[in-house]
Structures are given as structure tokens and as C-alpha cells.
Amino acid sequence: MKVGVIGAGVMGKGVAQSLAQSRHNVVLIDVSDEVLDQARTALFTNIRFSGFYNKDTEAEDPETVLSRVEFTTHYDSLSDADFIIENVPEQWDVKKEVYAQLENYCPDSCIYLVNTSCISITKVGSNTRRPDKVIGVHFMNPVPLKPVVEAIQGYHTSETTIEATRSLLHTMGKEAILVQDLPGFVSNRISHLLMNEAAFVVQDQVASPEEVDDIFVKCFGHKMGPLHTADLIGLDTVVHSLDVLYESYQDPKYRVCPLLRKMVDAGLLGAKSGQGFFEHVIL
């Protein structure tokens, strides 16, 4: 099976790794060779270390896994793709242009998986000639370690597309929980409010980032606090998602915390930049 992965950022690399380790042929596409070179290096490192997290599974040689991934800036290799998993930023103008390109190259049978946390799947489908073959699949980060995804059925998404997507995800060792299409779906409609309010708590000097997260980890038993989660997702992605939610619902509860926007403007994006609410080591 051949799967095109659009976007070689944090999520795209995770999706490509999970697919390649599941023995799928992958075409990883991004806008520059520099980004792709960085992705190749990161993938090799992540694949090499993945054996430490999956000790019950016999690990393949990283070079063998990586040989299943084609790194390219061109869409030509998608002419025989079975699936596309799109992972570009949560900006409609960017996504719209990507789907215009995909429509020029992908076969009619190809199914589009939209890896989005907030943008309407029905809206994406309306910008293609195959709305019945467009489905949302919201992967959680880090992709190779998360066994469940949030799948989103657009207005026109067919049962055939849903079942084909479930089958693909099953080969990747992932279960799909199917929900309906409204901005933010379930996970981000709730979780982003939590992260945003946690940022307000820090901005208002009620508590430090460490104290906020300690309360959620030590009192509520969460594996990770809301601010560590925001850092892992990327503060820029969180802000983009909140902006989409605010625009979609016109509800002030989704207003971005000024501290969050200020940190993004300053380049403090979380794990991807090495500094957010916490310090991170960039691999």
C-alpha cells in the first residue's frame, strides 16, 4: 500500500514513521529539501530509539524502515497513492492550496485523511472532487506511541471511506473513535480550553507553569499537565486552533490568552523550538 504524507513537521514525521514501521510505502512531501533532510535525520533517530519503547516487538534495522520512505518536494509520486494523510498547519489558505495540488495528481480512488484538530472536514471535502473520500483523522502526538485516533465523518464521507480508513489505521496498530464534524470535534474543543485557561492562570500569576501541571498530574492523575501538553503540540498550533474555534463559534470562551500569542510571536513554540512554558531538548 502507498501512502502520501503531506507535511514533514512534528506530526508528519510521526505519521511517516508509524506507516513505515507498519511496512507501508510512504511518500513524504514538504516545501523544501532542507526540511526533508531534517526530517530524514529525525526519523532515523526516532526509529532507532523506538525499540526502547516497544520491547515486545522485534525492531527492524532503521535503514530498512527508512528505505520505505521517499522524501520529495514534488507531488508527481502520488499518481498511484492509495491514501493521503495531510498534516500541514491549521491555516485554511495553506490547506486549500494543498488540496488543489492533490487533485491534480492523485487517482480518483485515493482517500484523503485530513490530520486536523479543528478545521471542518466538510469544508475540506467541498474543495475537492471527492467529498465522499475525505475523512478527518486527528492523530495524537507522539504518533508512534498513541494507539487511538479521533476520526471525523464529514457530511459526505462514505461508509466505504470510513471502513477503508479503519483498516489502514488497524495496520498501524491504531483504533479509530468516530465522531461527527463540528470545529474542534471532541478532543480539541475541550482540551484547548484547558490549555488556554492554564496559560491565563500563569499570565495572572496565580501559579507557575510547574505548579499548574503538578496539580493536574499529582491531584488528578493526568499523565501530563496542560502546559506540557501545549508545549508538545506546539504553542503556534494551539493558537491557530483556538483562532479557528473562535472564528467558527464566535464564542469569547475561545479567545486566545495574550500570553500564549506573545510567546508565539517571540518564537517560544514549545518542544519544536526548545523553549515554551518549559525547556526542551531538540532531537
Domain boundaries, the chain: 2-180, 188-265
Query: Looking at the domain 188-265, which fold is it?
Result: N-(1-d-carboxylethyl)-l-norvaline Dehydrogenase; domain 2 (1.10.1040)
Residue 26, helix vs strand vs coil: strand
87 within 8 A of 136, measured Cβ to Cβ: no
What percent of the residues of the chain are helix, what percent strand, and what percent coil, each to the nearest 5?
50, 15, 35
Q: Give the residue from 173, 97, 187, 172 showing the smallest Cα distance to 136.
A: 187
Q: Give the residue from 189, 168, 193, 166 showing the smallest Cα distance to 178.
A: 166
193 within 8 A of 246, measured Cβ to Cβ: no
Is the pLDDT at 54 greater than 80, yes or no?
no
Query: Looking at the domain 2-180, which fold is it?
Result: Rossmann fold (3.40.50)
What mean pLDDT is predicted for residues 180-187? Answer: 94
- Catalytic positions: 138
Is the pLDDT at 163 greater than 80, yes or no?
yes
| Mean pLDDT, the chain, integer | 95
Is the pLDDT at 114 greater than 80, yes or no?
yes
pLDDT tens digits along 76-97: 999 999 999 999 988 899 999 9
pLDDT tens digits along 247-283: 999 999 999 999 999 999 999 999 999 999 999 987 6
**pLDDT band with cut points at 50, 70 and 90 for residue 121:** very high
Q: Which H/E stretch holds residue 98?
A: helix 92-105
pLDDT tens digits along 5-23: 999 998 999 999 999 999 9
Q: Give the residue from 117, 88, 120 showing the smallest Cα distance to 241.
A: 117
Instruction: Give the strand order in the sheet containing 83-86.
Output: 69-72, 25-29, 2-6, 83-86, 111-114, 134-138, 148-153, 175-180
**pTM for the whole structure:** 0.88
Residue 151 half-sphere exposure toward CB, CA atoms < 13 A: 25
